[in-house]
Protein backbone atom coordinates (compact mmCIF):
# COMPACT_ATOMS: atom_id res chain seq x y z
CA UNK A 1 0.00 0.00 0.00
CA UNK A 2 2.83 2.38 0.79
CA UNK A 3 4.53 1.73 -2.54
CA UNK A 4 1.36 2.11 -4.61
CA UNK A 5 -0.09 5.02 -2.65
CA UNK A 6 3.08 7.05 -2.17
CA UNK A 7 6.24 5.55 -3.66
CA UNK A 8 5.12 4.95 -7.24
CA UNK A 9 3.93 8.52 -7.74
CA UNK A 10 7.18 9.91 -6.39
CA UNK A 11 9.24 7.55 -8.56
CA UNK A 12 7.38 8.40 -11.74
CA UNK A 13 7.37 12.17 -11.13
CA UNK A 14 10.78 12.45 -9.49
CA UNK A 15 12.16 15.36 -11.50
CA UNK A 16 9.01 17.45 -11.14
CA UNK A 17 8.73 17.02 -7.37
CA UNK A 18 12.35 16.94 -6.16
CA UNK A 19 12.87 20.70 -6.10
CA UNK A 20 9.74 21.52 -4.12
CA UNK A 21 9.93 18.79 -1.49
CA UNK A 22 10.15 19.60 2.21
CA UNK A 23 13.57 19.60 3.86
CA UNK A 24 12.96 18.51 7.47
CA UNK A 25 16.51 17.34 8.23
CA UNK A 26 18.27 20.17 6.37
CA UNK A 27 19.96 18.19 3.60
CA UNK A 28 18.26 20.11 0.83
CA UNK A 29 14.98 19.31 -0.85
CA UNK A 30 16.58 17.19 -3.61
CA UNK A 31 18.52 14.87 -1.29
CA UNK A 32 15.60 14.67 1.15
CA UNK A 33 13.27 13.70 -1.69
CA UNK A 34 15.79 11.13 -2.95
CA UNK A 35 15.90 9.48 0.48
CA UNK A 36 12.11 9.42 0.69
CA UNK A 37 11.84 7.90 -2.80
CA UNK A 38 14.42 5.28 -1.84
CA UNK A 39 12.46 4.40 1.29
CA UNK A 40 8.96 4.45 -0.21
CA UNK A 41 9.87 3.21 -3.67
CA UNK A 42 12.69 0.71 -3.24
CA UNK A 43 12.65 -0.41 0.38
CA UNK A 44 8.92 -1.12 0.40
CA UNK A 45 9.31 -3.50 -2.55
CA UNK A 46 12.20 -5.27 -0.83
CA UNK A 47 10.12 -5.68 2.34
CA UNK A 48 7.12 -6.93 0.36
CA UNK A 49 9.24 -9.71 -1.14
CA UNK A 50 11.12 -10.36 2.08
CA UNK A 51 14.47 -9.58 0.50
CA UNK A 52 17.11 -7.86 2.65
CA UNK A 53 14.22 -7.15 4.96
CA UNK A 54 15.99 -5.92 8.06
CA UNK A 55 18.23 -3.65 6.00
CA UNK A 56 15.27 -2.35 3.97
CA UNK A 57 13.23 -1.57 7.08
CA UNK A 58 15.88 0.75 8.55
CA UNK A 59 15.31 3.61 6.04
CA UNK A 60 11.55 3.17 6.41
CA UNK A 61 11.70 3.42 10.20
CA UNK A 62 13.93 6.50 9.97
CA UNK A 63 11.61 8.05 7.39
CA UNK A 64 8.50 7.57 9.54
CA UNK A 65 10.23 8.83 12.69
CA UNK A 66 11.22 11.99 10.78
CA UNK A 67 7.75 12.33 9.25
CA UNK A 68 5.92 11.89 12.55
CA UNK A 69 8.20 13.65 14.99
CA UNK A 70 9.86 16.35 12.86
CA UNK A 71 7.98 17.11 9.63
CA UNK A 72 4.51 16.90 11.16
CA UNK A 73 5.48 17.77 14.75
CA UNK A 74 3.23 20.83 14.93
CA UNK A 75 0.40 19.32 12.88
CA UNK A 76 -2.77 17.87 14.36
CA UNK A 77 -2.89 14.13 15.01
CA UNK A 78 -4.84 13.49 11.80
CA UNK A 79 -1.85 14.70 9.71
CA UNK A 80 0.77 12.59 11.50
CA UNK A 81 -1.35 9.53 12.25
CA UNK A 82 -0.46 7.72 9.00
CA UNK A 83 3.28 8.08 9.66
CA UNK A 84 2.88 6.50 13.08
CA UNK A 85 0.68 3.71 11.74
CA UNK A 86 3.32 2.77 9.18
CA UNK A 87 6.04 3.07 11.84
CA UNK A 88 4.15 0.65 14.10
CA UNK A 89 3.88 -1.78 11.18
CA UNK A 90 7.54 -1.64 10.12
CA UNK A 91 9.27 -1.43 13.51
CA UNK A 92 8.55 -5.05 14.55
CA UNK A 93 10.06 -6.28 11.26
CA UNK A 94 13.33 -4.68 12.27
CA UNK A 95 13.49 -6.99 15.28
CA UNK A 96 11.73 -10.12 14.03
CA UNK A 97 12.88 -10.26 10.41
CA UNK A 98 10.79 -11.36 7.46
CA UNK A 99 9.62 -14.82 8.50
CA UNK A 100 9.72 -18.21 6.86
CA UNK A 101 7.83 -17.28 3.66
CA UNK A 102 10.32 -14.70 2.42
CA UNK A 103 13.11 -14.61 -0.11
CA UNK A 104 15.53 -14.10 2.78
CA UNK A 105 14.40 -17.42 4.30
CA UNK A 106 14.60 -19.16 0.93
CA UNK A 107 18.14 -17.91 0.37
CA UNK A 108 19.19 -18.91 3.89
CA UNK A 109 17.72 -22.38 3.35
CA UNK A 110 19.63 -22.81 0.07
CA UNK A 111 22.89 -21.66 1.70
CA UNK A 112 22.56 -24.14 4.56
CA UNK A 113 22.02 -27.04 2.15
CA UNK A 114 19.70 -29.99 2.55
CA UNK A 115 18.66 -30.92 6.04
CA UNK A 116 20.49 -33.85 7.52
CA UNK A 117 18.38 -36.98 7.66
CA UNK A 118 17.86 -38.54 11.05
CA UNK A 119 19.90 -41.66 11.81
CA UNK A 120 18.20 -44.97 10.95
Cβ atoms of residues 49 and 102 within 8 Å: yes
What digits encode the pLDDT tens for the residues 6-61?
889 888 889 888 888 888 888 998 899 999 999 999 999 999 999 999 999 999 99
Lowest mean pLDDT among 17-21, 55-59, 105-109, 111-115: 111-115
* Alpha carbons 72 and 69: distance in angstroms, whole number: 6
pLDDT score of 51 = 95
Please report, for residues 39, 96, 118, the alpha-carbon distance to residue 55 in angstroms, rounded to integers and kept in the order given. Answer: 11, 12, 35
Band the pLDDT of 118: cuts 50, 70, 90.
Answer: low
Domain ranges in the chain are 2-109
Amino acid sequence: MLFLGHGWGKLTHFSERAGQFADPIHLGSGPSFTLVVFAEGICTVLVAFGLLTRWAVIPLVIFFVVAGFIQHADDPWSRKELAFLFLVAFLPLLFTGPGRYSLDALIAKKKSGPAASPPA
